[in-house]
């Protein structure tokens, strides 16, 4: 099939990050396959900017936790839009539970949502890309693939698995012209609630732990993805791209930039 456009398959597409990525890739001329595990919309106006535009787009739904399920969904995409050029794997599930209280069901849910879906999407879509000698796979991951949260260990171990999947896939698929990279996303607004912890102060006044004292946004993620799937990033494969504004470098409170109110409360000048 000769196409005049490229096709991007985005998982968890109705999430804030998924919508931002969809807007960016749509602006870059991609046709979009927007996938969510559930067919129920997250909000009444989800992806309104995409739906109201003239972008070629389709929606799919259902768990991607088996090879059969991935094949079924991607067959629909290929039939409607053509071969997939870009896979953005973007799960966001966070379950706050300590190691000692985690149930088998919670563990399996995290593995399914993050790891199994990434593996089967990589296996099937990656094989199709390799056969065509072109394609991009991007895993939207987290700085917590290497730094504990203190509250959501399932999220951390799942993201750690994705990090190694990226490296293995980059070696294997890279031989066939497919680039595979992982984005380690840092803190954005609301993460103090997502990763609230009884044993860690990591997300207490966390915006001041970014050297600029300015949190990133989902649009920052989208802009990075726009670059990574472009020809300008053709030599980037198997990379862990950290997008955190320097958050992981933080270790000295009194040396970091403070907001005015925080400076007065802390007594540091």
**Residue 49 within any structural domain of the chain:** yes
Q: What is the pLDDT of residue 108?
A: 95
Q: Are strands 7-10 and 31-36 parallel, antiparallel or unpaired?
A: parallel
Spatial distance between the Cα atoms of 175 and 40, rounded to a whole number of angstroms = 39
pLDDT digits (tens, 9 = 90+) for 12-46: 999 999 999 999 999 999 999 999 998 765 544 44
Residue 222 lies in a domain: yes
Domain of 188 in residue numbering reads as: 7-266
Question: Does the residue 2 lie in any domain?
Answer: no
pLDDT digits (tens, 9 = 90+) for 101-112: 999 999 999 999
Instruction: Please give the chain's pLDDT, 269 residues, in tens.
Output: 556 789 999 999 999 999 999 999 999 999 999 999 987 655 444 455 555 456 789 999 999 999 999 999 999 999 999 999 999 999 988 989 989 999 999 999 999 999 999 999 999 999 999 999 999 999 999 999 999 999 999 999 999 999 999 999 999 999 999 999 999 999 999 999 999 998 889 999 999 999 999 999 999 999 999 999 999 999 999 999 999 999 999 876 656 666 665 554 444 43
- Classify residue 175: in a domain, yes or no: yes
Q: What is the pTM of this model?
A: 0.90
Report the pLDDT value the prediction gives residue 90, as an integer from 0 to 100.
Answer: 96
Write down the pLDDT at residue 42: 53
Q: Tell me phi and psi for residue 152, to 5 degrees.
A: -135, 70
Crossing angle (nearest 10°) for helices 67-81 and 117-132: 40
Q: 183 has which bridge partners? A: 140, 241
Q: Confirm whether 50 is domain-assigned.
A: yes
73 is a domain residue: yes
Q: Identify whether 1 is part of a domain.
A: no
Residue 4 burial class via C-beta count within 10 angstroms: exposed 0-12, middle 13-18, buried 19 and up: exposed
Directed axis angle between helix 218-228 and helix 16-27, to 10°? Answer: 40
What is the residue-wise DSSP string for the chain?
A: ---SS-EEEESSTTSHHHHHHHHHHHHTT-EEEEEESSSS-SSTTTTHHHHTSS--EEEEES---SHHHHHHHHHHHHHHH-S--EEEE-------B-GGG--HHHHHHHIIIIIIHHHHHHHHHHHHHHHHT-EEEEEEEEGGGTS--SSBHHHHHHHHHHHHHHHHHHHHHHTTTEEEEEEEE--BTTHHHHT--SS--TTTTGGGGSTTS--B-HHHHHHHHHHHTSGGGTT--S-EEEESTTGGG---GGGS---HHHHHHH---
Domain of 39, CATH number, reads: 3.40.50.720
Q: Domain count of the chain? A: 1
- C-alpha angle with apex 204: 199 to 210, nearest 5 degrees? 125
Say what the pLDDT of residue 227 is: 98
User: Domain for residue 214, yes or no?
Assistant: yes
């Amino acid at each position: 099939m000769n196409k005049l456009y490229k096709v991007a398959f985005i998982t968890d597409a109705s999430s804030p990050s998924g919508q931002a990525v969809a807007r960016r890739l749509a602006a870059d001329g991609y046709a979009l396959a927007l996938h969510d595990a559930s067919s129920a919309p997250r909000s009444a106006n989800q992806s309104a900017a995409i739906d109201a535009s003239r972008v070629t787009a389709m929606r799919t739904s259902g768990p991607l936790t088996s090879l059969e399920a991935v094949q079924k969904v991607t067959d629909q995409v290929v039939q409607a839009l053509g071969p997939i050029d870009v896979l953005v794997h973007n799960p966001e599930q966070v379950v706050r539970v300590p190691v000692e209280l985690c149930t088998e069901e919670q563990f399996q849910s995290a593995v399914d949502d993050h790891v199994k879906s990434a593996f089967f999407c990589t296996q099937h879509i990656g094989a199709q890309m390799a056969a065509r000698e072109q394609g991009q796979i991007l895993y939207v991951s987290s700085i917590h693939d290497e730094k504990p949260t203190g509250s959501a260990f399932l999220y951390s171990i799942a993201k750690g698995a994705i990090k190694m999947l990226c490296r293995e896939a980059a070696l294997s698929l890279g031989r066939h012209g497919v680039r595979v990279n992982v984005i380690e996303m840092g803190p954005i607004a609301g993460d103090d609630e997502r990763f609230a912890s009884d044993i860690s102060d990591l997300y207490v006044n966390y915006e001041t732990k970014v050297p600029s004292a300015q949190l990133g946004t989902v649009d920052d993620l989208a802009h990075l993805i726009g670059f990574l799937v472009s020809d300008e990033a053709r030599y980037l494969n198997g990379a862990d791209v950290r997008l955190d504004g320097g958050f992981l470098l933080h270790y000295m409170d009194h040396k970091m930039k403070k907001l005015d109110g925080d400076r007065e409360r802390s007594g540091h000048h």
